Amino acid sequence: MKVLFIFPYPHGTAASQRFRFEQYLSFLAGAGITYRLEPFFDDQTWKILYKPGHGPAKVRGILRGFGRRLLLLTQIHPYDFVFIHREAAPLGPPVLEWLIAKVLRKRIIFDFDDAIWLPNTSATNRIAAGLKWHRKTAGICRWSYKISAGNAYLADYAKQYHGDVTVNPTTIDTAGLHNQIKDQATGDLVIGWTGTHSTINYLDALLPVLRDLEAEHRFTFLVISDQKPAFHLNSLQFLPWNKASEREDLLRMHIGVMPLTDDPWARGKCGFKALQYMALGIPAVASPVGVNCDIIRHGENGYLCRTADEWEEVLTKLLEDAKLRTRMGKAARNTVQSRYSVQANRFTFLRFFTA
């Protein structure tokens, strides 16, 4: 059996791809399935894609991507399945997906982990947002053979258009990558957050809480991201995200936070930040939005906080009690290992490639 993977960014670069399908590739090989990886953006374009400026170079990179996609259509015949993560191209209507499914008659496995049918405009994508054609998601769902949705909210959307939808959670490699446990009894206290420039605005609502905590407690607030935050905190430490040191950087944290606003876009998120913290034995404190309510059992393996007072109460409790952090971190890791690990979900992934 042969599978063609079509996805946006170069292999090994974007978290969505790494934790949705790339970490399962070795299991495909073990099952006798051969595969080919085809990103839309090349390495050259990826390096500048989310940086200010470079307009002409970005346009050239997008044109090169479309050129590779058109060439790929002429090479698609040998493949039994085409696994499409999010979309075949970042701009325009789903012409490529339609050609693959309806003209070339290939079985599409469509995988998505965000509410990508909704506009989500930020300062860095404002121009491109008007060309993204968000309503393509419904068409791709209709034309697919099977659908892999990151949570129940996304699955419910897909079920409007297709009968074969599987909830396939974003998972963590607890054996090969997130395979250490935080020692909660050592080091200066660190509350941490990790994410990209597109999600850092969720921290805005938490800033007053952190400023109040700074007056009573000694801690560092660590932000691991691709861009330095614009806000100021006395406790703030910024660390540029680095794939090579990702695990060690996360292990600096004693507590991990994941604030969200309760809106349709946030409900589509797959709890990845919380899962990363929890896999390393770091208690997660999150907003009770979407899949967070499935992952976290309040007071057992983490905390769900809605109001500023709840956030301050929980963070104070965790800052003051290392034994509580240790106990909760152990329960959190057990949750990830049993329900959200690569090892626990590998057969769910492999079943997509059956008739």
- pLDDT over 80 (residue 259): yes
Whether the per-residue pLDDT at 19 is higher than 80: the answer is: yes
Neighbouring-strand partners of residue 172: 341
What DSSP string runs through 136-201? HHHHHHHH-SEEEESSHHHHHHHTTT-S-EEE----B-TTTTS-----TTSSS-EEEEE--TTTGG
What is the predicted pLDDT for the residue at 131?
A: 72
Nearest CA to 245 out of 229, 224, 228, 227 is that of 224
Q: What is the mean pLDDT of residues 132-139?
A: 88
pLDDT at 45 over 70: yes
**What pLDDT was estimated at residue 73?**
98
Residue 126 has pLDDT above 60, yes or no: no
Query: 159-179: b or e for each residue (b if 16 or more CB lie within 10 Å)?
Result: eebbeebbbbbbbbbbeebbe
Residue 287 and residue 262 in contact, taking contact as beta carbons nearer than 8 Å:
yes
pLDDT at residue 124 tops 80: no
Domains of the chain: 2-171+345-353 (3.40.50.2000), 190-339 (3.40.50.2000)
The model's confidence at residue 123, banded by pLDDT at 50, 70 and 90, is: low
Name the amino acid, one letter, at 226: D
Task: Kindly state the percentage of the chain with pLDDT values over 90.
Answer: 93
The residue count of the chain comes to: 355
Which residue carries 């965790």 as its tokens?
318
**Residue 146, both tokens:** 């099977």
Q: What is the mean pLDDT of residues 213-225?
A: 97
**pLDDT (mean) for 56-85:** 97
- Predicted local confidence at residue 78, as pLDDT: 97
How remote is the C-alpha of 344 from its chain's centroid? Answer: 18
Helix residue ranges, H only, 180-307: 207-216, 246-250, 264-267, 272-279, 292-295
Mean pLDDT across the chain, nearest whole number? 95
Q: Which two tokens stand for residue 118?
A: 């909704």
pLDDT band at 135 (very low <50, low <70, confident <90, very high): confident
* pLDDT at residue 129 in the model: 59
pLDDT at residue 191 is higher than 90: yes
- The pLDDT tens digits of the residues spanning 306-339 come to 999 999 999 999 999 999 999 999 999 999 999 9
